[in-house]
Amino acid sequence: MQEWANQLCENRQFGSKMTDSKYFTTTKKGEIFELKAELNSDKKEKKKEAVKKVIASMTVGKDVSALFPDVVNCMQTDNLELKKLVYLYLMNYAKSQPDMAIMAVNTFVKDCEDPNPLIRALAVRTMGCIRVDKITEYLCEPLRKCLKDEDPYVRKTAAVCVAKLHDINAQLVEDQGFLDTLKDLISDSNPMVVANAVAALSEIAESHPNSNLLDLNPQTINKLLTALNECTEWGQIFILDCLANYTPRDDRESQSICERVTPRLSHANSAVVLSAVKVLMKFMEMLPKDLDYYGTLLKKLAPPLVTLLSAEPELQYVALRNINLIVQRRPEIMKHEMKVFFVKYNDPIYVKLEKLDIMIRLASQANIAQVLAELKEYATEVDVDFVRKAVRAIGRCAIKVEQSAERCVSTLLDLIQTKVNYVVQEAIVVIKDIFRKYPNKYESVIATLCENLDSLDEPEARAAMIWIVGEYAERIDNADELLESFLEGFHDESTQVQLQLLTAIVKLFLKKPTETQELVQQVLSLATQDSDNPDLRDRGYIYWRLLSTDPVAAKEVVLAEKPLISEETDLIEPTLLEELICHIGTLASVYHKPPSAFVEGSRGVQHKRLPGSAGSGESVDSPETTSTAGVSDAPPAVIPSQGDLLGDLLNLDLTPTTAGPPPPAPSSGMQLGGMDLLGGGLDSLMGDESEPLGGDLGGTPAIGAGFGAAPAALPASFSAPVSGGLDDLFDLGGGVGMPMGAYSPPKSVWLPAMKAKGLEISGTFARRAGVIQMEMTLTNKAMSVMTDFAIQFNRNSFGLSPAGPLQVLTPLSPNQSIEVALPLNTSGPVMKMDPLNNLQVAVKNNIDVFYFSCQYPISMLFVEDGKMERQIFLATWKDIPNDNESQFQIKDCHLSSDAASNKLQGSNIFTIAKRTVDGQDMLYQSMKLTNGIWVLAELRIQAGNPNYTISLKCRAAEVSQCVFQSYEAVLKN
């Protein structure tokens, strides 16, 4: 008592209030020692004070685990506060003292029988938090009782306890049947119990993706919707998130759920609002667009989203990330709300940047004037990151809204006049993009740009400026001087600038050959002889050879027309967007990545998909509908990255580490396609160049790929890496020594003699040892000799182009035929054709130029490393949305499944697994196209039935039809 009084006096003395801060005071004797003594005191009050001190130390991270036995001794008490404090301590330290923790078990078990529901709940709750195996064994019985307790407060606490226990020992929970009890609680009369049961089940389900824990059917959905109205805000979040996993049977059910969820949009808790938005966004997909209710619902979504933006900045940030997704999926929702995204100068930077992003997405002809005025305002702000992004945004507006381009350009010019260094640089980078989008429109501004040449110190801006100078060299009088000035510090520039400079000077040379010969020689020698960078060196060599062998060809290659860049360079890919819409409000939506990409512990998260809209998707087995369904609105071309905007030529990544194992050295007499091309005259051009040509393996094929490679922007639908062209060149090596030949259709007449002044061409395609060949028979049916044959392809879906000239060495006399095999590569310019495998060819001879088109079997594009790992196959199969699946019938085929498999393997269709169910063989097969597209197939063969069924799944669903045709052709020949 003496000490107690002392303390009281001391507190008064120092004028300190009776606050908990006293628990932090330490004495010289040693804190632990003193606390021990106090904990073992007879005085209840003193004990409590001591426990409080212990807790206080714990909160600041001090280790007080040594007091474990002493604290546990205080547990047997009627004082609820003391009991709670001891429990707090136990939860923190039980794990470090498992043997001691057992001491507490008896009290827990006793408390679970207490008449006061508060104490029963507290006991079961605390026990679940003690992560010690020995304790969990004792937990089962009390938990079972509590789950069926008469008091709902105890039941709801017990529901969460099942989730805790599952986290510690999943097997135990399953063995004890707690999961079933938990499922029963979904039908509980008390909404709070229902909400907690749902929350617990959802958490458990996260670690069991395939278990059917939350078996959602119309009955349970109805129960959830009833509970939704009555439970707490947090419970509403759990229930809404759970509802979002349900797929309604039809549009009527979908509508009725939406109707019951919409009131949640008026909740004060923003998390409830966003979860409700998720449910509505998902179920809306099923509603027919002409339904009145659909329009009503769209209108209802905007106001709550706008309101979220007036909340605290952290909430705004999450809301903005989600709105970003929503406006991509359904731009109509927010189209009138542009103003709420205008930036306030004291918004945190993370909010500013997000708002800017959404402003651009919403920009349209109607509001562009306002948007531009705002962006211009932002460009004068203080924060450098924000200013840069604002300037970029102006460029994006120009590209997105064509009518505004002129105004954007003049705004950018105004900004350049400010002479603020980083603004100028950023503006030049975006103006280059505008030139790419609208060629021959705004070049008048080049003079202004050139004035700022000296102030550019960032590589990206320098590279952009150099690109502009090179591209428009003919209009800039002193282009050579400008480029020459850059050349002085060539070796100090970054690679990006060096590559650009090289290309620009070559362009200049091709445009003004007379004055710039010296310059081009200088840059070529700088690039090839003085540089250690393989990219630069290789590009230098290519130009060198091109220029010295065939300047005309060089002109065609270097000054080729570039594809226009498109507005939506930063759109999220549609399938990913669909998945993210299903994850509105989650971390995935904040990071714009699927949960499987980053959430730890989510073992095999299932990919969620939006439900299909009513009416579609019924005629799955009709190839026409399926091939158009998924891709009818083919995504616009995406330019893979900023760097490629610049790379007008040969911007192939030369470090394709992903391309698989390095190609084995060609063993047989087979020649690599690339080698073939580089042979002959080139060596002589090299003169006594000491460095062997393409010394490293990576270099050789790359040069081959580079040939004829024009702007290498692949359409987005082929989500192939840019280095796709390289991959398949590597495959040339891999294919050496394939046992079986690939299927090749018989030759057919492509160009009848009547149409081609006597030249008849019949041909076929084949893949021989990894090389695609076009095999032709040229017949001269005219009266005169034919010479000077050459061949060219139009752009086509897979970038097929001749890997060398047409080898018709001797003149073709009348009535003579010649067999020619033209090796092809797939690094040519890409354009989607209809049908996909259509190829337009021009053949020239001394008489005229003739055009014809032919179709190649897509199987010749199947590469040799198209065999997928089983696991990956499974994952990919699941991953590809069902919309992309097509089913076909192959009739009258009499092969056994093994024979079929062998035959298909010859054409690089690999069987990964085989399963036999009820006399039906299922072959799971994969193939990979030269551009990296994977096609997965399931081939079902019923013994005795000549009709096979094949299901094809591919991210680019449009190839399915062609693949099916190849299957049919391969199997029947």
Partner 1 sequence: MIHSLFLINASGDIFLEKHWKSVVSRSVCDYFFEAQERASEPENVPPVIPTPHHYLISVLRHRIYFVAVIQSEVPPLFVIEFLHRVVDTFQDYFGVCTEAAIKDNVVVVYELLEEMLDNGFPLATESNILKELIKPPTILRTMVNTITGSTNVGEQLPTGQLSVVPWRRTGVKYTNNEAYFDVVEEIDAIIDKSGSTITAEIQGVIDACVKLTGMPDLTLSFMNPRLLDDVSFHPCVRFKRWEAERILSFIPPDGNFRLLSYHVSSQNLVAIPVYVKHNITFREGSSQGRFDLTLGPKQTMGKVVESVLVSSQLPRGVLNVNLNPSQGTYTFDPVTKLLSWDVGKINPQKLPSLKGTMSLQAGASKPDENPTFNIQFKIQQMAISGLKVNRLDMYGEKYKPFKGIKYMTKAGKFQVRT
Q: Using CB under 8 A, which residues numbered 74 to 113 contact partner 1?
A: 79-82, 84-85, 88, 91-92, 95
Binding mask 314-353 for partner 1 (x = CB under 8 A): xx-xxx----------------xx-xx-x-xxx-xxx---
Binding mask 880-919 for partner 1 (x = CB under 8 A): ----------------------------------------
* Residue with token string 């024979």: 899
Instruction: Indicate the burial class of 571 (C-beta count within 10 angstroms; 0-12, 13-18, 19 or more).
Output: middle
Q: Using CB under 8 A, which residues numbered 746 to 785 contact partner 1?
A: none
Q: How far is the CB of 263 from partner 1 (least distance, A)?
A: 4
> In this complex, which beta carbon is closest to partner 1, that of residue 234 or of residue 438?
234
Stretch that binds partner 1, among 59-67, 397-405, 510-518, 855-863 (CB under 8 A): 59-67
User: H/E element holding 47?
Assistant: helix 44-59
- Among the listed residues 97, 226, 256, 307, the single contact to partner 1 using CB under 8 A: 307
Please give the Cα distance from 282 to 287 (Å, whole number): 10
> In this complex, which beta carbon is closest to partner 1, that of residue 129 or of residue 875?
129
Residues 6+ apart with CB under 8 A from 116: none
- Among the listed residues 142, 248, 304, 932, the single contact to partner 1 using CB under 8 A: 304
> In this complex, which beta carbon is closest to partner 1, that of residue 563 or of residue 594?
594
- Among the listed residues 248, 470, 563, 595, the single contact to partner 1 using CB under 8 A: 595
Q: Residue 62, SS3?
A: coil
420 belongs to the binding site for partner 1 (CB under 8 A):
yes
Residues 6+ apart with CB under 8 A from 487: 501, 505, 519, 522, 523, 526
- Among the listed residues 41, 73, 232, 838, the single contact to partner 1 using CB under 8 A: 232
Please, what is the angle between helix 251-261 and helix 270-284, to 10°?
160
The pair of three-digit structure tokens given for residue 265, joined into one six-digit string: 């949009």
Please give the Cα distance from 170 to 268 (Å, whole number): 36
Q: How far is the CB of 400 from partner 1 (least distance, A)?
A: 21
Cα–Cα separations (whole angstroms), residue 638 to 471, 565, 718: 22, 8, 10
Q: How far is the CB of 149 from partner 1 (least distance, A)?
A: 12
Q: Using CB under 8 A, which residues numbered 601 to 620 contact partner 1?
A: 601-602
- Among the listed residues 171, 217, 290, 382, the single contact to partner 1 using CB under 8 A: 382
> In this complex, which beta carbon is closest to partner 1, that of residue 128 or of residue 701?
128
Asked whether 302 and 337 are in contact (CB, 8 A), the reply is yes
- Among the listed residues 35, 39, 50, 55, the single contact to partner 1 using CB under 8 A: 55
Going by their DSSP bridges, the two strands 817-825 and 801-802 should be labelled as antiparallel
Check the CA dihedral 773-869-878-876 and report its sign.
Answer: negative
Cα–Cα separations (whole angstroms), residue 713 to 436, 587, 643, 955: 13, 32, 11, 18
413 belongs to the binding site for partner 1 (CB under 8 A):
no
13 belongs to the binding site for partner 1 (CB under 8 A):
no
* Residue with token string 């932002």: 378
At residue 722, what is the residue type?
Answer: V
Among 104, 58, 59, 62, which residue's Cα sits nearest to residue 83? 104
Among 828, 814, 809, which residue's Cα sits nearest to residue 758? 814
Q: Using CB under 8 A, which residues numbered 233 to 272 contact partner 1?
A: 233-234, 237, 241, 263, 266-271
Q: How far is the CB of 63 from partner 1 (least distance, A)?
A: 11
Rounded to 5°, angle at Cα 855 from 851 and 857:
150
Q: How far is the CB of 949 from partner 1 (least distance, A)?
A: 38
> In this complex, which beta carbon is closest to partner 1, that of residue 184 or of residue 314?
314
Instruction: Indicate the burial class of 227 (C-beta count within 10 angstroms; 0-12, 13-18, 19 or more).
Output: buried
User: H/E element holding 849?
Assistant: strand 849-855
Q: Using CB under 8 A, which residues numbered 429 to 468 contact partner 1?
A: none
Please give the Cα distance from 423 to 906 (Å, whole number): 58
Count how many residues are written for the chain: 973
Please give the Cα distance from 938 to 950 (Å, whole number): 6
277 belongs to the binding site for partner 1 (CB under 8 A):
no
> In this complex, which beta carbon is closest to partner 1, that of residue 414 or of residue 892?
414
Please give the Cα distance from 113 to 946 (Å, whole number): 70
- For the CA atoms of the chain, what is the radius of gyration? 36
Q: How far is the CB of 34 from partner 1 (least distance, A)?
A: 18
Going by their DSSP bridges, the two strands 838-844 and 849-855 should be labelled as antiparallel
Stretch that binds partner 1, among 213-221, 370-378, 777-785, 858-866 (CB under 8 A): 370-378
- Among the listed residues 114, 141, 332, 377, the single contact to partner 1 using CB under 8 A: 377
386 belongs to the binding site for partner 1 (CB under 8 A):
no
- Among the listed residues 599, 749, 785, 912, the single contact to partner 1 using CB under 8 A: 599
Rounded to 5°, angle at Cα 548 from 494 and 553:
90
> In this complex, which beta carbon is closest to partner 1, that of residue 232 or of residue 613?
232
150 belongs to the binding site for partner 1 (CB under 8 A):
no
At residue 651, what is the residue type?
Answer: N
585 belongs to the binding site for partner 1 (CB under 8 A):
yes
Among 916, 892, 908, which residue's Cα sits nearest to residue 973? 892
> In this complex, which beta carbon is closest to partner 1, that of residue 302 or of residue 738?
302
- Among the listed residues 312, 454, 488, 688, the single contact to partner 1 using CB under 8 A: 312
> In this complex, which beta carbon is closest to partner 1, that of residue 322 or of residue 516?
322
Could you tell me how far CA 438 lies from the centroid of its own chain?
A: 29
Cα–Cα separations (whole angstroms), residue 196 to 128, 204, 268: 15, 12, 20
Binding mask 32-51 for partner 1 (x = CB under 8 A): ------------xx--x---
> In this complex, which beta carbon is closest to partner 1, that of residue 595 or of residue 663?
595
Stretch that binds partner 1, among 380-388, 679-687, 744-752, 762-770 (CB under 8 A): 380-388
Q: How far is the CB of 43 from partner 1 (least distance, A)?
A: 9
Q: How far is the CB of 898 from partner 1 (least distance, A)?
A: 45
Q: How far is the CB of 583 from partner 1 (least distance, A)?
A: 8
The pair of three-digit structure tokens given for residue 900, joined into one six-digit string: 């079929």
Q: Residue 749, SS3?
A: strand
Please give the Cα distance from 238 to 220 (Å, whole number): 14
422 belongs to the binding site for partner 1 (CB under 8 A):
no
569 belongs to the binding site for partner 1 (CB under 8 A):
no
588 belongs to the binding site for partner 1 (CB under 8 A):
yes
Question: Is omega for the bond preceding 662 within 30 degrees of 0, making it cis?
Answer: no
60 belongs to the binding site for partner 1 (CB under 8 A):
yes
Size of the site for partner 1 (CB under 8 A): 110
Binding mask 183-222 for partner 1 (x = CB under 8 A): -------x-x---x--x---x--x----------------
- Among the listed residues 75, 104, 125, 703, the single contact to partner 1 using CB under 8 A: 125
29 belongs to the binding site for partner 1 (CB under 8 A):
no
Detail the DSSP E strand segments found in 397-455: none
Stretch that binds partner 1, among 11-19, 66-74, 633-641, 955-963 (CB under 8 A): 11-19
Q: How far is the CB of 52 from partner 1 (least distance, A)?
A: 5
24 belongs to the binding site for partner 1 (CB under 8 A):
yes
> In this complex, which beta carbon is closest to partner 1, that of residue 7 or of residue 517?
7
